Chain A
């Protein structure tokens, strides 16, 4: 098992944990936490490949990860703002209760 595989496995595990959290928790904020974990797992993948994979370009992986971090931050901000607004209207963050968009 190469180091790369190790890191990739860790990233996969992290990703699954984040996914599990997003899929199973009732609170909307915890779904967001799960999403953040998934994003981080992807970042870890990128950095791992930047370190151990082939290097046609020296900076690509790092740049990718940096921009990903930035975007993740923006997205977290907006998402949390939304959750706060929803909480103001529905007085709950329980996702099971927010089903008015059902078919």
Chain B
């Protein structure tokens, strides 16, 4: 029996593994096919996109089952791509628990969002283009997940960034959308430069960009020990420095402070885009990247129990979590609140990775993917129902008009706040808080994260109160969304609740799965010191936040022109928060001002100096050509002409002898006679 199952597993592995590239490949091919279609073939485009992603989902599911059946399995392949000098640049893909679970999450959530988009984008005339880009994005994101080589990961990373740009600026006729797309691209680019630097450094030190290569990969122990041996200044080892550089790239994509400025603006894109890219998947790519290269960051812990790199990651994450949550309190656009909420939760994930390791951070990533996608899709449903209204001060009372949306949105909101026991967000966030509690370096992140949880509950309650409760503030009555949009909401809501079950301390299936350990149901998991106290504290905090929010906003529904309740209480801090703590303005004054000055300098250089050099060369050539022409005309031609003239005048001179006068001829004759006679006499002398 054991042998048979092992055999099956081996056969399955041999079938699934080599063709794993189909998982990202099929959606990309579908994107290519859709790009060639005409705009009016909407059904075909939608079917192609959903079908390709469905195929990827099923394949991912099969791969997941394969990995789940054999704990701690880690299959990787690699091939040589091209040769550089003596060494090769390699590509490869990997199937281990981390990538398997990410594959399933990305493809499943993506599939649901695609189905949702059929309803949401129905009235848009660029339906086909939308699905082409979404399909391309899905393929690229799946590519990021299965990449074994940092180079392949970077390529798919850039492709993800590109499709994000295309999709944020989907309604490019709106100047705000075009500007937001450009901002997103440029800001993530800043992070990507550091990522590339880290990659190059890693390659130069270890000679390979493959992550796992049967012992010779870049993050396997042999290479790591080599990296640890080198110091890179500032108390960092080479491993830590490279890890931090890669973290910069992740910070850009995942919206950590200070590269978070693009995420709120990215809400200019359609809501399914926000749901897929900026909630569930692309922003999670940064977290996933850190999880992937975790051995690099965690190598060589110092006496304090953690490495410098991980400490930096934790602090950045914790700060971002609190910073973004505070700003979310004062926002009035339904999607912007959710955007800042995403930034905050990404901070949580980074802090979780820093303090607790891969399993802790990635569990929150998975649960967040589901409930944030749910929240965004719900917001999209609300916007669709309110006829493209996005300001929460102009919504209200939608509880009665859109009951299903309200129910699913409430489930998502409670999951995000971390409502105890029933909702997955509670378990995943508590996992992070637990890791913070046991962090040996400092206690402050714990306090920050707990405060962040309070604020999260507060602003989400504010939002729900504004949108769903109270009297209707909008101009027209809202209507419920069609079933194609509400069905994904229901499915996501189910998972938002059910996923918690795989992360409880009693049955830590997820952690065991990631770490590759065996698993058993163990109620004594709750006996860990301080765990119950922590759970109690976080429950208290959540209720406190909910209560505060309800007290300020839920009891009486504010009129649209009225000042916000909190604004009345504390106008100045409200003003700061409303203006997003002036980070964008700071960039405007420093980075952008410097860059425009630099661009002007470069333009001047280009026009005057390089352009001048080119013009100078051209001028020299012209001068040379003119000199040549002068030579040619005057000397060559002139010489030739003069020669001919001389010849002619010589002829004239000679012909002037024939002047028609007899006496001239006679004289010449006489001269000839003289000469001849003289010669004759001279020659005949004895």
Judged by CB atoms under 8 Å, the answer to whether A and B touch is yes
A: residues with CB less than 8 A from B are: 19, 22-24, 31, 95-96, 98-103
Choose one: B659, B660, B667; the contact of A23 (CB below 8 Å): B667
B contact residues around A99 at 8 Å (CB):
659-661
> Is B658 close to A, CB under 8 A?
yes
Given A19-B670, A23-B670, A95 contacting B658 (CB threshold 8 A): no
A contact residues around B655 at 8 Å (CB):
103
> Is B666 close to A, CB under 8 A?
yes
List 7 extra interface pairs beyond A23-B666, A103-B658, CB under 8 A: A23-B670, A95-B663, A96-B661, A99-B659, A101-B660, A102-B659, A103-B660
> Is B302 close to A, CB under 8 A?
no
CB distance from A90 to the nearest CB of B (A): 13
CB distance from B659 to the nearest CB of A (A): 5
Measured CA separation A24–B659 after assembly (Å): 16
Measured CA separation A33–B300 after assembly (Å): 139
26 contacts between A and B (CB under 8 A): A19-B670, A22-B663, A22-B666, A23-B663, A23-B666, A31-B662, A31-B663, A95-B662, A95-B663, A96-B661, A96-B663, A98-B660, A98-B661, A99-B659, A99-B660, A99-B661, A100-B660, A101-B660, A102-B658, A102-B659, A102-B660, A103-B655, A103-B657, A103-B658, A103-B659, A103-B660
Measured CA separation A31–B664 after assembly (Å): 12
Interface SS of chain B:
helix
Measured CA separation A31–B655 after assembly (Å): 24
Measured CA separation A96–B670 after assembly (Å): 18
Most buried by A among B655, B659, B662, B670: B662
B: residues with CB less than 8 A from A are: 655, 657-663, 666-667, 670
CB distance from A89 to the nearest CB of B (A): 15
A contact residues around B663 at 8 Å (CB):
22-24, 31, 95-96
Residue of B nearest to A20 (CB): B670
B contact residues around A96 at 8 Å (CB):
661, 663
CB distance from A13 to the nearest CB of B (A): 15
Measured CA separation A74–B657 after assembly (Å): 31
Measured CA separation A103–B658 after assembly (Å): 5
CB distance from B27 to the nearest CB of A (A): 100
Closest 3 CB pairs of A and B: A103-B658, A102-B660, A99-B660
Residue of A nearest to B661 (CB): A99
CB distance from B668 to the nearest CB of A (A): 10
A contact residues around B657 at 8 Å (CB):
103
Measured CA separation A56–B657 after assembly (Å): 46
B contact residues around A22 at 8 Å (CB):
663, 666
A contact residues around B661 at 8 Å (CB):
95-96, 98-99, 102
A contact residues around B659 at 8 Å (CB):
99, 102-103
Residue of B nearest to A101 (CB): B660
Residue of B nearest to A34 (CB): B666
Measured CA separation A99–B224 after assembly (Å): 116
Measured CA separation A102–B664 after assembly (Å): 11
Measured CA separation A98–B662 after assembly (Å): 8
Measured CA separation A83–B144 after assembly (Å): 123
B contact residues around A24 at 8 Å (CB):
663
B contact residues around A23 at 8 Å (CB):
663, 666-667, 670
Measured CA separation A99–B667 after assembly (Å): 15
Measured CA separation A95–B661 after assembly (Å): 7
B contact residues around A103 at 8 Å (CB):
655, 657-660
Measured CA separation A60–B670 after assembly (Å): 28
A contact residues around B670 at 8 Å (CB):
19, 23
Residue of A nearest to B666 (CB): A23
Measured CA separation A101–B657 after assembly (Å): 12
